[in-house]
Amino acid sequence: MRHRAVPVKVTCWVDEGVVPLVEALNALPELASVDSCENSESDGGAYVMFVAGAGALTTSQLVIRLAADLADRLRNVPYRLRLDWFGGGDEPIGCLSCPRDSIEVVAGALSGLATARMKA
């Protein structure tokens, strides 16, 4: 029997510098963050990994939608949005990364998306 899943705010430990990005992503009801780091050498900055929540979108669809929504809002801001698929995994994982000095701007754009979606 399948039960309906609903989003619940959970307290977890994240690197202090990436908090605005994690909070902004988690304000989007269609996704859930699963990992983050304030300063990753491999990504060149902060990142947050996420999967689709209980909504109708898959993680792949969510990344495409997020890319379209952020394109104009972050036109001159360095950031990277990608889809990672790890061997043996059930589904891909989205990853949003940016330099540490762009965290606040990227988080602001995400917060603007969350606000716009709530009003729609």
pLDDT digits over 30-54, tens only? 888 999 999 866 656 899 999 987 6
Note the pTM of the prediction, 2 decimals: 0.86
Domain locations in the chain as residue ranges: 23-111
Give the Cα separation of 68 and 23 in Å (integer).
20
Residue 83 has pLDDT above 80, yes or no: yes
What are the helix (H) ranges across 48-102?
59-73
CATH class for the region spanning 23-111? alpha beta
